[in-house]
Amino acid sequence: KTQVEQSPQSLVVRQGENCVLQCNYSVTPDNHLRWFKQDTGKGLVSLTVLVHENDKTSNGRYSATLDKDAKHSTLHITATLLDDTATYICVVGDRGSALGRLHFGAGTQLIVIP
Amino acid sequence: DMKVTQMPRYLIKRMGENVLLECGQDMSHETMYWYRQDPGLGLQLIYISYDVDSNSEGDIPKGYRVSRKKREHFSLILDSAKTNQTSVYFCASSSTGVNSDYTFGSGTRLLVI
């Protein structure tokens, strides 16, 4: 059973618009949550990591929130650029060490059009 | 420049042939991983290596084995490849701790015919 669900599955926005990506999970324990960006044909690049209850992070035009009670995270992208076209993957870690496992969502495919 | 390098980038093999996927990292990370990525699914863990000759099965180890004789190299071996092993394979490495970053390679696209 999939333990990390992302929505929407795909999303098309115009350059300059804002967008919000959602991640719901059932992983227990949920030590931390990461968002990755995967360009087509490339590897995953870490955008941010959230650790604490009600954590919020900001990395340039990317900002993320985590609600551990609801087991829910959002990734906000502000003023999208064409280069934001990629798949965004939500990942939940069940421990804070290498002994833990990462649980991957299937990703949201974002397409930014001119 | 910190990176994980995977070779080859693309590979076509016939069913029953042996396959060797190579991965190297230049960050002296202790932990390395092999994942596969299939359409519509999240990455699935095949094997994890905690250091030289310290390897553990992941969630889908069947049909695969690994080798780590040096900290910077981690190999994935498919003995007698099967068509359902057609996939994109990613290697990754990490140092320990929550705030340490995971570094992924660019992937090897394997087609088994």
Q: What is the pLDDT of residue A101?
A: 85
**B7 C-beta neighbours (distance < 10 Å), count:** 13
Helices and strands counted in chain B (H then E): 0, 11
| CB contact set of A97 (below 8 Å; sequence gap of 6+) | B96, B97, B98
**pLDDT class for A98, splitting at 50, 70, 90?**
low
Interface of B with A (CB under 8 A): 4, 30-31, 35, 40-45, 48, 50, 59, 90, 92, 94, 96-99, 101-102, 104-107
How far apart are alpha carbons A10 and A68 in whole angstroms?
25
Please compute the mean of the pLDDT values over residues A30-56 and round it to a whole number.
Answer: 93
Nearest-CA residue of chain A relative to B91? Answer: A43
- A49: nearest CB among B35, B42, B98: B98
The proportion of chain B whose per-residue pLDDT surpasses 90, expressed as a percent, equals 86
Chains A & B: contacts with CB separation below 8 Å: 59
How far apart are the C-alpha atoms of B106 and B91, rounded to whole Å?
Answer: 8
Tens digit of each residue's pLDDT, chain B (113 residues)? 679 999 999 999 999 999 999 999 999 899 999 999 999 899 999 999 999 999 999 999 999 999 999 999 999 999 999 999 999 999 999 987 666 678 999 999 999 99
- How much is the pLDDT for A89? 97
Q: How confident is the model at residue A105 (pLDDT cuts 50, 70, 90)?
A: very high
Rg (CA), chain B: 13
**What are the structure tokens assigned to A81, written together?**
């650029």
Cα–Cα distance, A58 to B15 (Å, whole number): 47
Give the tens place of pLDDT for each residue, A83-94.
999 999 999 998
Q: Dihedral of CA B28/B32/B38/B39: which sign?
A: negative
Of the residues B98, B103, B104, the best mutation for testing chain A's interface (the one with the most A CB atoms within 10 Å of its CB) is B98
